[in-house]
Amino acid sequence: MENPIDILILSNGPGEITTWVRPVVQALREQLQNQPVQVRISLILSPCPNATGKEVNIAHSYPEIDRVQGAEYFWQFLLWGKTQENWDWYKQGVVLFLGGDQFFTVVISKRLGYHSVIYAEWEARWWRYINRFGVMKSEILDTIPQPYQAKFEVIGDLMADVALSSSSAIISDDIIIGLLPGSKSAKLTQGIPLALAIAEYLHQKRPQARFIIPVAPTLDLQTLANFAAPQSNPIIAKFGGISAQLHLGDPAYLETKNGVKIELYTQFPAYDLLSNCQICLTTVGANTAELGALAVPMIVLLPTQQLDAMRSWDGIPGMLANLPGLGSIFAKIINGLILKQGKLFAWPNIWAKQEIVPELVGELKPEDIANLVLYYLDHPEQLEAMRQRLQQVRGKPGAAQKLATIILNSCSLE
């Protein structure tokens, strides 16, 4: 048997773990089935402003990964090369970048004496020091000097592979409307009341419609229900005063006083569930990327009734918005300035550089949003056009298999 090999994956947030790490480790194990060499896959997480705290548990649920280290131990590993559990390392290996800062790949691969591979979605850095790159689009190569372009291969979009594990066919005649209000309290405070009010209005017009919320893994159902209760969430009054109570069951659901039910599903990731939605109403963030990868039509909502809700900006704005005490003030100022710029917020729109899914910004009224949903339901050809445009933007699947081949070539296994 050949010498054993380590594949060390560097990643950070929940979106990267579910939409990048997951398909790549599955592709690696699939290609390794007929190899006589022992390959150990480890995952080390770096800090991320969008982290949920459940990233380690999610990664442990992937049987293809042998070892996982949480982000709280990252800096001691980067600076001194020590893991929390004193991991050993084989002599031969590859460091694979799937989220975080690409510079980490340079430092860690040099320390371990491993080959380095970076998946670059929008920008490739440190090309002098990295062995191989798998990139999403050929436009990235335009910024790379000719002598280094041999290191690069256009493999497509890893997030497009998300759809491979999901069915896009509607499995029932129901009208299924997905509600994705966010996962953190700042967004849920206004997101849940808005979702309840929209569902209440839609139910009057389409009583056969089903409403579903895929619950984030960081939330327990009672915490979620607190945002639907007026005694714990006064923002409800700003959206028509629609509240709801939690009922446990399979599935659990929130029920308004008028009997409108919003089903709650805790499986994660909820790709099969989302793929069966005719349309989703979502806040900004990773949700828009995952819905785009699944080619699920969506309307993106940025209510400004509570202007300090958005605090997940990158860099210095994100740091200021999350400061204890003063964070709310900074968030209001930063968000006010950003909203005035008229920039695109949904990832599919950012990728397309134009609005292919509607973005509604401002002091949103539930009935206006509901009427837009009704318009789309009455015009299924427009939903289909949105679905096809999302597919075009994300590209064809297969990137995970191509990236796995690059990694194994670095190990001289292909």
Tell me the range of 86-90, 169-173, 235-239, 272-276 where mean pLDDT is highest.
Answer: 86-90
- How do residues 99-123 score in pLDDT, each as one tens digit? 999 999 999 999 999 999 999 988 8
Quote the CA–CA distance of 15 and 32 in Å, as a whole number.
25
Domains of the chain: 5-156+398-410 (3.40.50), 165-394 (3.40.50.2000)
Q: What is the pTM of this model?
A: 0.72
DSSP character string of 325-340: TTHHHHHHHHHHHHHH
Quote the CA–CA distance of 414 and 412 in Å, as a whole number.
6
Query: Torsion angle of alpha carbons 202, 227, 184, 340, nearest 10°?
Result: 60
- How do residues 189-207 score in pLDDT, each as one tens digit? 999 999 999 999 999 999 9
- How do residues 325-384 score in pLDDT, each as one tens digit? 555 555 555 455 555 555 788 889 988 889 999 999 888 899 999 999 999 999 999 999
Could you tell me which of 302, 287, 292, 305 has the C-alpha nearest to residue 213?
287
Dig out the tokens for 97 from the structure. Answer: 């970048």
Query: Torsion angle of alpha carbons 276, 281, 285, 287, nearest 10°?
Result: -10
Q: List CB contacts of 412: < 8 A, sequence separation 6 or more.
A: none
User: In 10 A of CB 276, how many CB atoms?
Assistant: 20
